[in-house]
Homo-oligomer: A and B are copies of this chain.
Amino acid sequence: MLSEFELIARYFSRPPAPDSRTALGVGDDCALMTPAPGMQLAISSDMLVAGRHFFPDADPATLGHKCLAVNLSDLAAMGAQPIAFTLALALPEARAEWLAPFSRGMLALADEHGCELIGGDTTKGPLTISITVFGEVPPQQALRRDAARAGDDLWVSGSLGDARLALAGYRHEFSEDQAVNAEELAVAAPRMHAPTPRVALGLALRGIAHAAIDISDGLAGDLGHILTRSRVGATLDVDALPPGPALQQRDLHLRRRFTLSGGDDYELCFTAPVRQRDAVYKAAQAAGTPVTRIGSIDAAAGLRLLDAAGEPLQDTPDSFDHFRS
Protein backbone atom coordinates (compact mmCIF):
# COMPACT_ATOMS: atom_id res chain seq x y z
CA MET A 1 0.00 0.00 0.00
CA LEU A 2 1.22 3.50 -0.80
CA SER A 3 2.17 5.72 2.11
CA GLU A 4 0.40 9.04 2.44
CA PHE A 5 3.40 10.93 1.17
CA GLU A 6 4.13 8.67 -1.80
CA LEU A 7 0.46 8.99 -2.71
CA ILE A 8 0.51 12.78 -2.70
CA ALA A 9 3.76 12.89 -4.63
CA ARG A 10 2.64 10.45 -7.27
CA TYR A 11 -0.79 11.74 -8.17
CA PHE A 12 -1.01 15.35 -7.15
CA SER A 13 2.44 16.97 -7.36
CA ARG A 14 3.28 18.59 -10.66
CA PRO A 15 5.89 21.13 -11.70
CA PRO A 16 4.47 24.66 -11.30
CA ALA A 17 2.99 26.25 -14.41
CA PRO A 18 5.30 28.75 -16.17
CA ASP A 19 2.97 31.66 -15.35
CA SER A 20 2.34 30.41 -11.81
CA ARG A 21 1.53 32.81 -8.96
CA THR A 22 2.68 30.08 -6.61
CA ALA A 23 6.11 30.38 -5.02
CA LEU A 24 5.68 27.05 -3.23
CA GLY A 25 3.07 24.37 -3.84
CA VAL A 26 2.33 20.88 -2.54
CA GLY A 27 4.89 19.61 -0.03
CA ASP A 28 5.52 22.30 2.60
CA ASP A 29 3.51 23.27 5.69
CA CYS A 30 1.74 25.84 3.55
CA ALA A 31 1.55 26.81 -0.08
CA LEU A 32 2.76 30.34 -0.83
CA MET A 33 0.80 32.38 -3.33
CA THR A 34 1.31 35.93 -4.54
CA PRO A 35 -2.02 37.51 -5.52
CA ALA A 36 -1.99 39.91 -8.45
CA PRO A 37 -1.62 43.48 -7.16
CA GLY A 38 -4.91 45.29 -6.64
CA MET A 39 -7.12 42.23 -7.11
CA GLN A 40 -9.56 40.81 -4.59
CA LEU A 41 -9.37 37.10 -3.83
CA ALA A 42 -12.62 35.14 -4.15
CA ILE A 43 -12.52 32.03 -1.96
CA SER A 44 -14.99 29.15 -1.75
CA SER A 45 -15.04 25.74 -0.02
CA ASP A 46 -17.22 22.78 -0.91
CA MET A 47 -17.27 19.34 0.68
CA LEU A 48 -18.62 16.29 -1.19
CA VAL A 49 -19.46 13.13 0.74
CA ALA A 50 -19.85 9.64 -0.76
CA GLY A 51 -23.44 8.42 -0.62
CA ARG A 52 -24.75 11.96 -0.32
CA HIS A 53 -23.30 14.03 -3.18
CA PHE A 54 -22.20 11.10 -5.33
CA PHE A 55 -22.53 7.33 -5.48
CA PRO A 56 -19.71 5.54 -3.61
CA ASP A 57 -18.91 3.59 -6.80
CA ALA A 58 -18.92 6.71 -9.01
CA ASP A 59 -16.45 6.68 -11.88
CA PRO A 60 -13.35 8.31 -10.32
CA ALA A 61 -12.41 10.38 -13.39
CA THR A 62 -15.83 12.05 -13.68
CA LEU A 63 -15.94 12.40 -9.89
CA GLY A 64 -12.60 14.21 -9.97
CA HIS A 65 -14.02 16.53 -12.63
CA LYS A 66 -17.25 17.14 -10.72
CA CYS A 67 -15.62 17.95 -7.37
CA LEU A 68 -13.57 20.72 -8.91
CA ALA A 69 -16.41 21.81 -11.24
CA VAL A 70 -18.80 22.60 -8.38
CA ASN A 71 -16.12 24.77 -6.79
CA LEU A 72 -15.30 26.55 -10.05
CA SER A 73 -19.03 27.15 -10.39
CA ASP A 74 -18.87 29.24 -7.19
CA LEU A 75 -16.09 31.35 -8.71
CA ALA A 76 -18.16 31.70 -11.90
CA ALA A 77 -21.06 33.01 -9.83
CA MET A 78 -18.79 35.77 -8.47
CA GLY A 79 -17.33 36.67 -11.87
CA ALA A 80 -13.91 35.56 -10.61
CA GLN A 81 -11.02 34.16 -12.64
CA PRO A 82 -9.86 30.80 -11.19
CA ILE A 83 -6.21 30.73 -10.13
CA ALA A 84 -5.61 27.91 -7.62
CA PHE A 85 -7.15 25.31 -5.31
CA THR A 86 -6.40 23.03 -2.37
CA LEU A 87 -7.68 19.47 -2.04
CA ALA A 88 -8.36 17.61 1.22
CA LEU A 89 -9.19 13.97 0.65
CA ALA A 90 -10.34 11.25 3.05
CA LEU A 91 -10.10 7.78 1.50
CA PRO A 92 -10.95 4.34 2.88
CA GLU A 93 -7.76 3.10 1.21
CA ALA A 94 -5.09 4.51 -1.10
CA ARG A 95 -5.64 2.55 -4.32
CA ALA A 96 -3.79 3.54 -7.48
CA GLU A 97 -6.69 2.29 -9.65
CA TRP A 98 -8.89 4.93 -8.05
CA LEU A 99 -6.38 7.73 -7.46
CA ALA A 100 -4.93 7.77 -10.96
CA PRO A 101 -8.22 8.44 -12.83
CA PHE A 102 -9.54 10.69 -10.02
CA SER A 103 -6.51 12.99 -10.19
CA ARG A 104 -6.51 12.85 -14.01
CA GLY A 105 -10.17 13.94 -14.20
CA MET A 106 -9.64 16.71 -11.67
CA LEU A 107 -6.38 18.05 -13.09
CA ALA A 108 -7.71 18.04 -16.68
CA LEU A 109 -10.47 20.47 -15.64
CA ALA A 110 -7.95 22.43 -13.56
CA ASP A 111 -5.69 22.84 -16.59
CA GLU A 112 -8.62 23.93 -18.73
CA HIS A 113 -9.15 26.85 -16.34
CA GLY A 114 -5.51 27.55 -15.44
CA CYS A 115 -6.35 26.64 -11.84
CA GLU A 116 -3.31 25.23 -10.04
CA LEU A 117 -3.40 22.61 -7.28
CA ILE A 118 -1.26 24.24 -4.57
CA GLY A 119 -1.73 22.06 -1.50
CA GLY A 120 -3.97 19.89 0.57
CA ASP A 121 -4.22 16.91 2.84
CA THR A 122 -4.94 13.20 2.54
CA THR A 123 -6.10 10.88 5.28
CA LYS A 124 -7.79 7.58 5.82
CA GLY A 125 -11.54 7.89 6.37
CA PRO A 126 -14.96 7.68 4.73
CA LEU A 127 -14.62 8.94 1.14
CA THR A 128 -14.90 12.73 1.43
CA ILE A 129 -13.56 15.39 -0.90
CA SER A 130 -13.10 18.94 0.31
CA ILE A 131 -11.85 21.62 -2.04
CA THR A 132 -11.08 25.28 -1.45
CA VAL A 133 -10.78 27.30 -4.63
CA PHE A 134 -9.24 30.73 -5.20
CA GLY A 135 -10.06 33.23 -7.90
CA GLU A 136 -9.31 36.86 -8.66
CA VAL A 137 -11.75 39.66 -9.31
CA PRO A 138 -11.17 43.42 -9.59
CA PRO A 139 -12.53 45.35 -6.56
CA GLN A 140 -16.22 46.34 -6.89
CA GLN A 141 -16.75 43.98 -9.86
CA ALA A 142 -17.70 40.79 -8.02
CA LEU A 143 -21.25 39.54 -8.75
CA ARG A 144 -22.67 39.43 -5.23
CA ARG A 145 -25.90 37.90 -3.97
CA ASP A 146 -26.95 41.17 -2.35
CA ALA A 147 -26.75 43.31 -5.50
CA ALA A 148 -30.15 42.63 -7.15
CA ARG A 149 -32.30 45.74 -7.69
CA ALA A 150 -36.06 46.04 -8.22
CA GLY A 151 -36.76 46.20 -11.94
CA ASP A 152 -33.79 43.98 -12.89
CA ASP A 153 -34.35 41.23 -15.43
CA LEU A 154 -33.88 37.73 -14.06
CA TRP A 155 -31.76 35.35 -16.16
CA VAL A 156 -30.55 31.79 -16.16
CA SER A 157 -27.76 30.18 -18.18
CA GLY A 158 -27.92 26.90 -20.13
CA SER A 159 -30.68 24.49 -19.19
CA LEU A 160 -32.14 23.04 -16.02
CA GLY A 161 -33.40 19.76 -14.62
CA ASP A 162 -31.53 17.07 -16.58
CA ALA A 163 -29.20 16.32 -13.66
CA ARG A 164 -32.28 15.78 -11.50
CA LEU A 165 -33.89 13.57 -14.16
CA ALA A 166 -30.76 11.39 -14.23
CA LEU A 167 -30.91 11.09 -10.44
CA ALA A 168 -34.57 10.05 -10.67
CA GLY A 169 -33.49 7.36 -13.12
CA TYR A 170 -30.76 6.01 -10.85
CA ARG A 171 -33.12 6.05 -7.88
CA HIS A 172 -36.01 4.41 -9.81
CA GLU A 173 -38.28 7.20 -8.57
CA PHE A 174 -40.96 6.81 -11.26
CA SER A 175 -43.53 4.10 -11.89
CA GLU A 176 -42.58 1.59 -14.58
CA ASP A 177 -44.40 3.29 -17.46
CA GLN A 178 -42.69 6.58 -16.59
CA ALA A 179 -39.25 5.11 -15.88
CA VAL A 180 -36.20 7.00 -17.18
CA ASN A 181 -35.05 4.95 -20.16
CA ALA A 182 -31.50 4.31 -21.35
CA GLU A 183 -31.72 6.88 -24.11
CA GLU A 184 -32.88 9.63 -21.74
CA LEU A 185 -30.22 8.65 -19.22
CA ALA A 186 -27.50 8.86 -21.86
CA VAL A 187 -28.53 12.48 -22.50
CA ALA A 188 -29.18 13.50 -18.89
CA ALA A 189 -26.43 11.70 -16.97
CA PRO A 190 -23.51 13.89 -18.15
CA ARG A 191 -25.31 16.89 -16.64
CA MET A 192 -25.28 15.12 -13.27
CA HIS A 193 -21.78 13.67 -13.42
CA ALA A 194 -19.80 16.25 -15.35
CA PRO A 195 -21.27 19.73 -14.98
CA THR A 196 -19.65 22.59 -16.91
CA PRO A 197 -18.78 25.50 -14.61
CA ARG A 198 -19.92 28.73 -16.28
CA VAL A 199 -16.65 30.53 -15.66
CA ALA A 200 -16.48 32.28 -19.05
CA LEU A 201 -20.02 33.60 -18.66
CA GLY A 202 -19.33 34.84 -15.12
CA LEU A 203 -16.30 36.78 -16.37
CA ALA A 204 -18.23 38.18 -19.35
CA LEU A 205 -21.01 39.43 -17.04
CA ARG A 206 -18.66 41.61 -14.94
CA GLY A 207 -19.88 45.20 -15.13
CA ILE A 208 -23.15 44.06 -16.76
CA ALA A 209 -24.98 41.85 -14.25
CA HIS A 210 -25.95 42.98 -10.76
CA ALA A 211 -26.38 39.82 -8.63
CA ALA A 212 -25.51 36.20 -9.41
CA ILE A 213 -25.60 32.79 -7.77
CA ASP A 214 -24.84 29.31 -9.05
CA ILE A 215 -27.68 26.81 -8.95
CA SER A 216 -26.66 23.82 -6.88
CA ASP A 217 -29.73 23.22 -4.71
CA GLY A 218 -32.45 24.12 -7.23
CA LEU A 219 -33.30 27.42 -8.92
CA ALA A 220 -36.15 28.42 -6.57
CA GLY A 221 -34.09 27.91 -3.43
CA ASP A 222 -30.91 29.48 -4.74
CA LEU A 223 -32.78 32.46 -6.19
CA GLY A 224 -34.26 32.78 -2.69
CA HIS A 225 -30.76 33.57 -1.38
CA ILE A 226 -30.44 36.47 -3.83
CA LEU A 227 -33.88 37.77 -2.82
CA THR A 228 -33.17 37.53 0.92
CA ARG A 229 -29.76 39.14 0.77
CA SER A 230 -30.85 41.85 -1.69
CA ARG A 231 -34.09 42.47 0.26
CA VAL A 232 -36.21 42.20 -2.88
CA GLY A 233 -38.74 39.78 -4.38
CA ALA A 234 -39.14 38.26 -7.82
CA THR A 235 -41.69 37.15 -10.37
CA LEU A 236 -40.67 34.00 -12.20
CA ASP A 237 -42.14 32.81 -15.51
CA VAL A 238 -41.96 29.12 -14.64
CA ASP A 239 -42.80 27.96 -18.15
CA ALA A 240 -39.96 30.09 -19.53
CA LEU A 241 -37.41 28.04 -17.59
CA PRO A 242 -35.23 26.16 -20.11
CA PRO A 243 -35.48 22.39 -19.49
CA GLY A 244 -32.55 20.16 -20.46
CA PRO A 245 -32.91 18.16 -23.71
CA ALA A 246 -34.00 15.00 -21.84
CA LEU A 247 -36.43 16.73 -19.47
CA GLN A 248 -37.85 18.64 -22.47
CA GLN A 249 -39.68 15.45 -23.54
CA ARG A 250 -41.42 15.02 -20.17
CA ASP A 251 -44.83 16.37 -19.09
CA LEU A 252 -45.41 19.92 -17.88
CA HIS A 253 -45.64 19.02 -14.21
CA LEU A 254 -42.25 17.26 -14.13
CA ARG A 255 -40.65 19.98 -16.26
CA ARG A 256 -41.81 22.62 -13.79
CA ARG A 257 -40.76 20.58 -10.76
CA PHE A 258 -37.27 19.69 -11.98
CA THR A 259 -36.42 23.05 -13.57
CA LEU A 260 -37.60 24.89 -10.45
CA SER A 261 -36.06 22.75 -7.77
CA GLY A 262 -34.09 19.93 -9.32
CA GLY A 263 -30.66 20.71 -7.98
CA ASP A 264 -27.15 19.94 -9.27
CA ASP A 265 -27.65 22.19 -12.32
CA TYR A 266 -24.55 24.38 -11.82
CA GLU A 267 -26.00 27.04 -14.07
CA LEU A 268 -25.85 30.73 -13.19
CA CYS A 269 -28.97 32.60 -12.08
CA PHE A 270 -28.34 36.33 -12.35
CA THR A 271 -30.00 39.72 -12.48
CA ALA A 272 -29.17 42.64 -14.74
CA PRO A 273 -30.75 46.05 -15.47
CA VAL A 274 -33.24 46.06 -18.35
CA ARG A 275 -31.00 48.47 -20.29
CA GLN A 276 -28.26 45.79 -20.26
CA ARG A 277 -30.43 43.23 -22.11
CA ASP A 278 -28.38 43.43 -25.31
CA ALA A 279 -25.12 43.42 -23.39
CA VAL A 280 -26.20 40.22 -21.59
CA TYR A 281 -26.93 38.48 -24.89
CA LYS A 282 -23.56 39.62 -26.28
CA ALA A 283 -21.72 38.41 -23.17
CA ALA A 284 -23.48 35.06 -23.44
CA GLN A 285 -22.52 34.76 -27.09
CA ALA A 286 -18.90 35.65 -26.34
CA ALA A 287 -18.85 33.02 -23.58
CA GLY A 288 -20.53 30.40 -25.78
CA THR A 289 -23.26 29.87 -23.17
CA PRO A 290 -26.96 30.39 -23.97
CA VAL A 291 -29.00 32.49 -21.54
CA THR A 292 -32.77 32.81 -21.02
CA ARG A 293 -34.75 35.66 -19.49
CA ILE A 294 -37.02 34.08 -16.89
CA GLY A 295 -38.64 36.92 -14.95
CA SER A 296 -37.91 40.08 -13.05
CA ILE A 297 -36.94 41.43 -9.66
CA ASP A 298 -39.66 43.23 -7.65
CA ALA A 299 -39.50 45.63 -4.75
CA ALA A 300 -42.09 43.51 -2.87
CA ALA A 301 -40.61 40.56 -0.97
CA GLY A 302 -41.42 36.95 -1.92
CA LEU A 303 -41.19 34.75 -4.98
CA ARG A 304 -44.19 34.78 -7.33
CA LEU A 305 -44.46 31.88 -9.78
CA LEU A 306 -46.47 32.47 -12.97
CA ASP A 307 -47.41 30.02 -15.72
CA ALA A 308 -47.22 30.72 -19.47
CA ALA A 309 -50.58 32.50 -19.35
CA GLY A 310 -49.35 34.80 -16.55
CA GLU A 311 -51.50 33.05 -13.94
CA PRO A 312 -50.10 32.25 -10.45
CA LEU A 313 -48.96 28.65 -9.87
CA GLN A 314 -50.37 26.85 -6.86
CA ASP A 315 -47.50 24.57 -5.81
CA THR A 316 -44.17 26.08 -4.81
CA PRO A 317 -41.50 23.37 -4.65
CA ASP A 318 -39.16 23.77 -1.73
CA SER A 319 -35.46 24.09 -2.30
CA PHE A 320 -33.47 20.95 -1.83
CA ASP A 321 -31.84 21.30 1.59
CA HIS A 322 -29.11 18.95 2.74
CA PHE A 323 -30.38 18.70 6.28
CA ARG A 324 -34.10 18.67 5.50
CA SER A 325 -34.24 16.03 2.80
Q: Is A271 an interface residue (CB 8 A)?
A: no
- How many interface residues does A have (CB within 8 Å)? 71
Contacts A29-B213, A77-B29, A78-B28; is A322 near B40 (CB within 8 Å)? no
Q: How far is the CB of A21 from chain B (nearest CB, A)?
A: 9
A7 CB-CB contact with B under 8 Å: yes
A136 to chain B, nearest CB (A): 10
- Report if A322-B4 is in contact (Cβ < 8 Å); known contacts: A52-B123, A78-B30: yes
> Which residues 227-280 in A have Cβ within 8 Å of B in the complex?
229
- Interface flags for A31-58 (1: CB within 8 Å of B; 0: not) read 1111101001111111111011100000
Tell whether, in the assembled complex, residue B4 and residue A45 are in contact, meaning their CB atoms are under 8 Å apart: no
State in angstroms the CA–CA spacing of A129 and B77 once bound together.
25
A89 to B5, CA, bound (A): 24
| Minimal beta-carbon separation of A148 from chain B (angstroms) | 13
Complex contacts, A86 vs chain B, CB 8 Å: 43-45, 132
Rounded to whole Å, the gap between the CB of A120 and the closest CB of chain B is 5
Q: How far is the CB of A147 from the nearest CB of chain B, in Å? A: 10
Q: How far is the CB of A212 from chain B (nearest CB, A)?
A: 8
User: A175 near B: Cβ within 8 Å?
Assistant: no
Q: Does A23 contact B (CB under 8 A)?
A: yes
Q: Which single member of B48, B51, B125, B130 contacts A52 (CB below 8 Å)?
A: B125
* Cβ B124 vs Cβ A52 within 8 A: yes
Q: How far is the CB of A47 from chain B (nearest CB, A)?
A: 4
User: What copy number does this chain have within its complex?
Assistant: 2
Q: How far is the CB of A268 from chain B (nearest CB, A)?
A: 10
* B30 contacts A74, C-beta separation under 8 Å: yes
A137 in the interface (beta carbon within 8 A): yes
Chain B neighbourhood of A213, CB < 8 A: 29
Q: Which of A140-161 contact B (CB under 8 A)?
A: 142, 144-146
A317 within 8 A of B: no
The residue in chain B whose Cβ has the minimal distance to the Cβ of A202 is B29
Query: A323 near B: Cβ within 8 Å?
Result: yes
Q: Given the complex, which residues of B lie within 8 Å of A139, measured CB to CB? A: 23, 34
Interfacial chain B residues near A130, Cβ < 8 Å:
45, 47, 88, 121, 128, 130
Chain A contact residues, CB within 8 Å of chain B:
1-5, 7, 23-24, 27-35, 37, 40-49, 51-53, 74-75, 77-78, 80, 86-90, 93-94, 118-126, 128, 130, 132, 134-135, 137, 139, 142, 144-146, 212-214, 229, 321-324
Given contacts A32-B78, A47-B89, 8 further A-B contacts (CB under 8 A): A1-B323, A1-B324, A24-B144, A29-B74, A29-B214, A43-B86, A45-B130, A47-B130
